Structure 1
C-alpha cells in the first residue's frame, strides 16, 4: 500500500496498555508459585485466558480450572481477583495516539480482552482509550484475533476497506493475519519505532 492510511487500527494489550498477568497472580499466591504456574506442563494460561477473551464468562473459566486442574485453582482465581495489578501504561504510546487524535486521524482499538475485565478496569482507568473513536472488545463481539471476523468488525467500525487501514499489534500471528486480509500492518516493539513507522506512511506523528 502506497497511499497514506485512512485510519489506524490499534491493539491495546502491550501496545497502549502493558499487560503482565504474572503480576496479578503473584499478588495472590506469591512469586514462587506464580513461576510454577506459568511454567506448568499441564496448564496453558494463555490458551485458557483466550477462551474468556472470546466470550466465556470468567466465573465459568475459573470453575473449569477447579474441575480439571484443582492444583491450579487458587492461581487462576488470584489472576481474576488481582487483575488490575497486571495493567500499566506503555511508555510513549499515549503521546503517539494524542498526536494522531489532534490531527484528526480516525483510530479504532481491536483488542482480545474479556468484556468483564475491560469495562470496569481499562476503559475507566486509561486516558489513551478515550482518544479512540471506537474499541472492538473481543469478549463483547465473541470473536478474537487472529480470526478474520475480528478484523472485519474493526474495519466496519472504521468505515474503511482493509486496504485503507494500517494495523498495529505486538503479536506476529495477529500481524500476519491482518496482512493476509490485505491490511498494512506494523509489528509493535515500542512507541518510538511505531512513530517512525506511522510517519513513513505519511501519518502526522
Structure 2
C-alpha cells in the first residue's frame, strides 16, 4: 500500500476508561487518583518495560503505598474492559477505510498488552491491523520514533501516511516528522471528511458507506 492511515485507538476509536471508570474502580476521582498513583508505572507498562503484575505492584506512589489497597491486575482489567466501546461514528469510518482499495489501515496506539482485551471485546482487527502498539514498539507518542517506526516498517515515506489522534501533542509530533495529521475532537463526520479529502488528493477514493445499517457505532 502506498497510502497509509494510522489511527490512535483510545479516545479516538474507542472509549477510554482511564479518566472515569479507571479511578472509579478505586472509589476515587481522576484528580484524586493522579495524586496517589505512581507517576511512571502506567507509562512503563505502556512501553512494555514491565508486565501487568509489576504494574499493579508499583501502582501507588511510594509515599502512598502503605495506605492504599493492593491492586489486582485481573480485577482492574475486568473492570475497565467492560467499558470498552466504539465511539459514535468510528465503526462506520473504519468499515469505509477497510473497503478502500490501495489503502493500509493500522493502529498506532499508546497502550499496554491490555490492548488484547480491546480486541477481544470489539474485534478491531475486522478493520485494521494492530501493527504499532507502544508496548511492542518500546516508545510512546509523541516520541518521534513512534511515527518513524511505522513508516520504516511499512516501507513508506511520512508523506504517504495520515494520522488521527485525539491528543493534540501527538498530532503535532506527527506533523513534525512530515505526516499529514487530523486532530480528532469527538466528531467522526468531520474527521471522515478530512480523511476523504486527503485520500482524494492522492488519487484514492474512499469506499462508500456500507448499506448495512448495523455498521454504525452507538
**TM bracket (short chain):** 0.7 to 0.9
The whole-number CA distance in structure 1 between the counterparts of 2:92 and 2:194 is 15
CA distance in structure 1 between the aligned counterparts of 2:95 and 2:39, rounded to whole angstroms: 31
Q: Where in structure 2 are the equivalents of 1:87-102 lying within 5 Å?
A: 87-102=84-99
Counterpart contact for 2:41–2:59, Cα < 8 Å: no
Q: Structure 2: which 5+ residue stretches go unaligned?
A: 208-218
Once the 2 structures are TM-superposed, how far is the Cα of residue 131 of structure 1 from its aligned partner? 1.5
Say yes or no: does 1:61 pair with 2:55. Answer: yes
Task: Judge which range, 78-87 or 93-102, deviates more.
Answer: 78-87
* Distance (whole Å) between structure 1 residues aligned to residue 176 and residue 90 of structure 2: 26
Greater share of helix:
1
Q: Aligned equivalents of 1:153 and 1:192: distance in 2?
A: 29
From the superposition, tell whether residues 127 and 59 of structure 1 become closer, same or farther in structure 2 (CA, over 3 Å): closer
Q: Deviations over 1:64-109 (max 9, x none)?
A: 2357122344578664452313421111111111111111221111
Q: TM-score, normalised by structure 1?
A: 0.82
- CA distance in 2: counterparts of 1:169 and 1:113, whole angstroms: 14
SS at match of 2:85: strand
Q: Are the counterparts in 2 of residues 134 and 157 from structure 1 also a CA contact under 8 Å? A: no
Which residue is 2:106 aligned to? 108
Instruction: Note closer, same or farther for the CA distance 1:34–1:41 as it changes in structure 2 (3 Å cut).
Output: closer
1 CA distance for matches of 2:61 and 2:145? 32
Taking the aligned partners of 1:41 and 1:84, their CA distance within structure 2 comes to 20
Q: What per-residue deviation string (whole Å, max 9, x for no partner) do you get for residues 134-179 of structure 1?
A: 4211112221111111212222343311111111101111111101
Match of 1:144 among 140, 147, 152: 140
The aligned length equals: 194
Map 1:16-165 to 2 at 5 A.
16-21=13-18, 22-26=20-24, 28-29=25-26, 33-35=27-29, 38-39=31-32, 42-43=35-36, 48-55=41-48, 56-66=50-60, 68=62, 69-70=64-65, 71-74=67-70, 79-104=76-101, 105-115=103-113, 117-119=114-116, 121-165=117-161
Q: Which runs of 5+ in 1 are unaligned?
A: none
* Normalised TM-score (structure 2): 0.78
- How many Å separate the matches in 1 of 2:46 and 2:96? 29
Q: Any idea what SS the aligned residue of 1:34 has? A: coil
